[in-house]
Homo-oligomer: A and B are copies of this chain.
Amino acid sequence: MTLKVLLDVMSQPSRAVSIFCRAAQIPHEFKAIRVAKMEHHGPEFQALNPLKTVPIINDDGFVVKDSSAILRYLTTTRKDVPDHWYPRDPEGQARIDEYLHWQHLNTRAGCAMYFRTKWLMPMLKQSPADEGKVEARLKTMEDALAKVQNIWLEDGKKKYLVGDAVSVADIMLCCEMEQPLVAGYDVRQKWPKLGEYMDRVKKDLHPHYEDVHKVLYGMYEKFSIKAKL
Contact (Cβ within 8 A) B151 A51 = yes
Least Cβ–Cβ distance between A60 and chain B, in angstroms: 11
Contact (Cβ within 8 A) A109 B105 = yes
Q: Is A142 an interface residue (CB 8 A)?
A: no
From A113, which residue of chain B is reached at the shortest CB distance?
B105
Count, chain A residues at interface, CB 8 A: 29
Q: Is A192 an interface residue (CB 8 A)?
A: no
Cβ-defined partner of A64 (8 Å) among B76, B77, B94: B94
From A64, which residue of chain B is reached at the shortest CB distance?
B94
Listed residue (A65, A94, A105) with the most chain B CB atoms within 10 angstroms of its CB:
A94
Contact (Cβ within 8 A) A66 B97 = yes
* Contact code string A90-115 (vs B, CB < 8 Å = 1, else 0): 11011001101110110011000000
The segment from A14-22, A67-75, A201-209, A219-227 that touches chain B is A67-75
Cβ-defined partner of A69 (8 Å) among B66, B98, B108: B98
Cβ-defined partner of A93 (8 Å) among B50, B65, B72, B98: B72
Tell me the A33-82 residues at the B interface (CB within 8 Å): 50-51, 62, 64-70, 72-73, 76-77
Contact (Cβ within 8 A) A72 B100 = no
Q: Residues of A with Cβ closer than 8 Å to B?
A: 50-51, 62, 64-70, 72-73, 76-77, 90-91, 93-94, 97-98, 100-102, 104-105, 108-109, 147, 151
List 21 A-B residue pairs with CB atoms under 8 Å apart, sorted by A's residue number: A50-B151, A64-B94, A66-B97, A66-B101, A67-B101, A68-B97, A69-B94, A69-B98, A72-B94, A72-B97, A73-B90, A73-B94, A76-B90, A76-B93, A101-B101, A101-B104, A104-B104, A104-B105, A105-B105, A105-B108, A105-B109
